Amino acid sequence: DGGITQSPKYLFRKEGQNVTLSCEQNLNHDAMYWYRQDPGQGLRLIYYSQIVNDFQKGDIAEGYSVSREKKESFPLTVTSAQKNPTAFYLCASSIEIGTGKEQYFGPGTRLTVT
């Protein structure tokens, strides 16, 4: 069963703690993305990666960090520097980058920081 998995579905953390969100894909896609979604709003791009060991900042990268050590995995760390981390986080992948391709999304992780 191919697809993108994100875990956990719900995550709770105390303010001041870093937290890492998992994203794994078995679609053999080169490109992977992280988005943030706030209630009643669209998706905002945090980071994206075109290939292993390479990633670029999106529109709202401050307070976040990523790594891409394996093709299948693109974890996102929400650091204590992120001023408003509570949100719904979506990971996506696409077969390639640069030509405009369909992105497949995972089920999302809802992060609540108190």
Name 48's Cβ contacts closer than 8 Å, sequence gap at least 6: 31, 32, 33, 34, 55, 56, 58, 97
Segment lying near other proteins (by CB under 8 A), choices 19-27, 63-71, 72-80, 90-98: 90-98
Residue number with CB closer to other proteins (52 or 104): 104
Q: Which of 11, 13, 27, 43 binds other proteins (CB under 8 A)?
A: 43
The interface with other proteins within residues 8-37 (CB under 8 A) comprises: 31, 33, 35
Measured from the CB of residue 49, what is the shortest distance to other proteins in angstroms?
10
Alpha-carbon gap, residue 2 to 14, rounded angstroms: 34
